[in-house]
Chain A
Amino acid sequence: MARVRSRDADAFEALYDEYHRLVYGVALRMLGDASAAEDVTQAVFLKVWSAPDLFHDGNFGAWIVRVARNRSLDILRSRASHQELELPESLPEADAMEDAAFARLDGERVREALGQLPEEQRQPIELGFFGGITHEEIARRTGIPLGTIKTRIRSGLRKLRTALDGVVTA
């Protein structure tokens, strides 16, 4: 990032090559539209180029995922403004230590770990993260009590954390 801050286009290209699949993948899952996902990816990376100081320290991957998700959420918000649908807040800011704990993303291993979660836990987690909807909306859509949804989200995240031990280490 230091080289990107000094306007090194080659360093930026290396950053793009490493993270664009992550950014595009999150936007695509959230928006369900390849063209909108490409727009988000382009906007996120051009933001990194034009305002590199927005990233302070910690793990760049964790940071750019948060930026991509929040940007996609903005688009979902603008779509939902016509549908009376309450949308969640943006992802909370993690501090540098929490970001640093996120050591390395391994898509294959995360998919495997997610696949091992019971459906009742995996579904609300994926709906919450990629669906851009609140836990109340998840409860409404699935017909499951709100308290149960919250407990399942927590149990699922804890299991995911345990399953990914070594990929994500605190």
Chain B
Amino acid sequence: MNAPHDPAMLDDVAVYALGSLPASDAERVRAHLATCAECRAELQALQPAVTSLAASAEQSPGALLKARVMRTVRADAQAHAQAAPAKKQPSVWPAYFVAAACFVIALVSTLMNLSLVGQLRQAQTKVAQIDRNSTGLARSLAQERATLADIMDDNARRFPVNGGEVIRVRDKLYITLHDVPAPPRGKVYQAWTLAKGAKLMSPSLTFVPDRHGVAVISLPVDARQTAAVAVSVEPDGGSKQPTSTPTFVVSTG
């Protein structure tokens, strides 16, 4: 039902469209809009102009943001893709059914078909394997999320390096890189850490970036006891001492 149009409401409708009315006034305008076709038309006319305001603010965030978002999304998509065929695996029910049916036949024929028992065990083993894979996937996803939470932690200390950051949060140390070129054939990237008070860097993990040039490495050291982090290109399998000029060395102490 349409209520009489009140031209005095048009200004309120404009402020409502802009999203600048306090809750109590917004409720009053919403109630009016429900019954006034003219004011609804005004809202419809102004709303695109309001939304277009957003375009005036367009800005580019840091490149690492996309790497963070896409890392989570791709990990989730991969987990989803792996979980989907697992769901399609035959459930244990048909195996039990076959076993039960064979048992009845065996009773009737008094012949025990041992091979079916074997098949049942095989089916059970398969189900257990799928269970283990699912648990592993869930664990890996939880780990990805924990890493993501760490590298986004507001209290993290960030040390900019060539192509990314070294991030220190509590006792954890991460290297997050983006746009990293693939290492030459037969080579990998290797991280190095310098323990506080030590004179020589210790070899740490080797890694290669993913196909998007992104690498997020959790270093297996206590950040509180680590004075510096470096990365260099080393032969596949890693080195005991750096054999090339590091792509970066950063003090984290």
Contacts and interface: CB of A to CB of B under 8 A. Distances in A.
11 contacts: A9-B70, A24-B65, A42-B65, A69-B19, A91-B50, A98-B47, A102-B52, A128-B19, A153-B11, A154-B15, A157-B46
Given A21-B60, A24-B61, A128 B44 contact: no
A161 B66 contact: no
Interface string B56-84: 11111110011011101110110011000
A157 B55 contact: no
Given A7-B80, A42-B68, A153 B14 contact: yes
Contacts of B45: 158, 161, 170
Q: Contact size class for B?
A: 35 or more
Contact of A92 (B10, B11, B19): B19
Interface in B87-109: none
Given A69-B54, A89-B21, A101 B47 contact: yes
A151 B11 contact: yes
A102 B44 CA distance: 10
Interface string A98-117: 10011001110111001000
Nearest to A150: B11
B48 A150 contact: no
Contacts of A129: 18-20, 50, 53-54
B171 interface: no
A66 interface: yes
